[in-house]
Amino acid sequence: MNISLIIVTYSLVFLLAFSVALFLYLILRRVVIQQQETLFQEKYQKIESEILKLIASPQQGLALEIAQKYKSFPNVLTKVLFDYIEQIKGQATDHLKKIFDYALKEKCLKDIYSRRLIKRLKATHLFVIFSGPSDTPHILKLLNDKPVVKLVAINALSQIPSSRALSYIFQAFENDSVSNARTYMNIMYGLGDKIETHVNEYLKKPLSTEKLALMIELAGTIPLRSLSQDIISFVDHPEKEIRIKVARALGHMRISASLDTLIRLSDDEAWEVGAQAMKSLGKLEDVRAKKVLSKGMFSPFWHVRFNAGHGLANLGEPGLKHLQKVKKQKKDAYASDMANMVLDEVFYSGEA
């Protein structure tokens, strides 16, 4: 028997054995999982019916009873609590939090310090939903964890309505890398006008362009109208991205006092800024913007014409009449086509 034959034979035997084992594993795994799922489902339904009973007619000690009864099934209990906390509002959530406190909190606190990332992550996620102010110290420790856990912790902090918690979130935003900045933005956005003071403070800090742009955008998206003057102060910022965000934020805020600033931005050297300013001017729905928007219809840039056209449509009758004029003129076919399209869209979508 030569060497190649021996190698092939052994490889074949090994691979065949491995394949058969893998096949059996696949089948057994499926059978076991199906059985586990059936058991899980049965237990889920039992817990669910008891929780529904608790929510429908709260009785003293019933939450504790449920917690004690199902403490040994943490996965099922966690799933039921997760599913129901999303569906219900108000006082009923307190019952679920009580069950969590009695049955799962201890395990959760243990898991937060687990060596395994997935355990820490799951435990932290539970805190996002069930945490209270007393849990803040535990969550703060997670701010030094890996980014994925840290962001969940930040999210958990955002559920705690204290100024200290908000300060922690903004500090983490300042110190964290730019790549995570948008995640912070999403968390901060959910906090609404509670963060006004902090946004104001951070607009004045020497942040990187990306972070500053996000702060400006955040102020506009919420919107934090009292910060409009602070936003306007960035109108001459050397970075185009910042000027675009200023124009966008002012559009979201819809403050007529920002009209002059937006008119100025509509003439910006960068067409992207001009296009955003046109869009924001349209949102103001102020007839004083008609002249600038009309000029925008003849811009060499498609986006500027597009936003100017829709801006004019937003002005109502005077804007629509002007669009009719632009449509009929023969000097600039691009402007005419754009006016035609905007009028057509307004007609079909019933925007006017």
Partner 1 sequence: MGGIIESVFQVVTGIILVYFFLINSLYLLFIILSIFGIYQYKNLSAFVNFKEVFQMPLVKPISIIAPAYNEEMGIIESVKSLLALEYPFYEVIVVNDGSTDHTLEKLKKTFGLKKSKRVFRKTIETKPIKGIYISPSDPKLVVVDKVNGKKADAMNAGLNVSRYPLFCGIDSDSILEKNALLKMARPFLEDPEKTVGAGGIVRLSNGCKVKFGQIVEVGLPRNALARFQILEYLRAFLGGRIGLSMLKSILIISGAFGLFRKDIALQCGGYRTATIGEDMDLVVRIRKYLHESKIPFVFRFIPDPICWTEAPETLKGLANQRNRWHRGLIESLLHSKKMIFNPRYGITGLFAMPFYVIFEMLGPLIEVAGYVIFSVYVLLGQFNQTFAVLFFLLAVVLGILLSLLAILLEEYSARRYPRLMDIIIIVAFGLLENIVYRQYLAVIRAMAFLDIAKGKKEWGETKKKGFSWESQKQ
- Binding residues for partner 1, rule: CB under 8 A, are 4-5, 8-9, 11-12, 15-16, 18-19, 22-23, 25-27, 29-31, 33-34, 86, 117-118, 121-122, 125, 148, 179, 182-183, 185-186, 189, 217, 221, 302, 334, 337-338, 340-341, 343-345, 348-349
- In whole angstroms, give the CA distance from residue 298 to residue 110: 66
Name the minimum Å distance from CB 276 to partner 1. Answer: 13
Q: How many CB atoms lie within 10 A of CB 352?
A: 13
- Give per-residue burial for 124-161: e unless 16+ CB within 10 Å, then b: bbbbbbbbeeebbebbeebbebeeebbbbbbbbbbbbe
Task: Please name the amino acid found at residue 194.
Answer: K
Place of tokens 């007619």: 57
Toward partner 1, which CB reaches closer, 19 or 233?
19
Nearer of residues 63 and 80 to partner 1, judged by Cβ: 80
Smallest distance, Å, CB 218 to partner 1?
Answer: 8
Tell me which residue of 147, 156, 205, 201 sits closest to 176, measured CA to CA: 147
Cβ closest to partner 1, residue 8 vs residue 257: 8
Least distance (Å) between residue 28 CB and partner 1 = 10
The distance from CA 15 to its chain's CA centroid, rounded to whole angstroms, is 48
Question: Nearer to partner 1 by C-beta: 14 or 113?
Answer: 14
CB atoms within 10 A of CB 166: 19
Least separation in angstroms between CB 174 and partner 1? 19
User: Which of 222/293 has CB closer to partner 1?
Assistant: 222
HSE of 291 in the Cβ direction (CA atoms, 13 Å)? 7
Q: Which is nearer to partner 1, 57 or 87 (CB)?
A: 87
Residue 66 has which token pair?
Answer: 């449920």
DSSP state at residue 194: G
**Choice between 206 and 350, CB closer to partner 1:** 350
In the complex, the smallest distance separating the C-beta of residue 167 from partner 1, rounded to whole angstroms, is 22
Q: Between 56 and 118, whose beta carbon lies closer to partner 1?
A: 118
Cα distance between residue 137 and residue 186, in whole Å = 23
For the bound state, the minimum distance from the C-beta of residue 284 to partner 1, rounded and expressed in Å, comes to 20
- Calpha distance 92→335 (Å, rounded): 58
For the chain, strand residue ranges (E) read: none
Report helix, strand and coil shares of the chain as percent, to nearest 5.
80, 0, 20
Give the shortest CB-185-to-partner 1 separation in angstroms: 6
Q: Nearest approach, Cβ of 352 to partner 1 (angstroms)?
A: 14
Give, in order, the Cα–Cα distances in Å from 145 to each of 116, 117, 142, 342: 12, 9, 5, 52
Other CB atoms closer than 10 Å to residue 116's CB: what's the count? 9
User: In sequence order, what DSSP letters do the residues of 87-120 get, joined into one string?
Assistant: H--TTHHHHHHHHIIIIIHHHHHHHHT-SSHHHH
State the minimum distance, in angstroms, from the CB of residue 296 to partner 1: 15
* Residue number with CB closer to partner 1 (286 or 334): 334
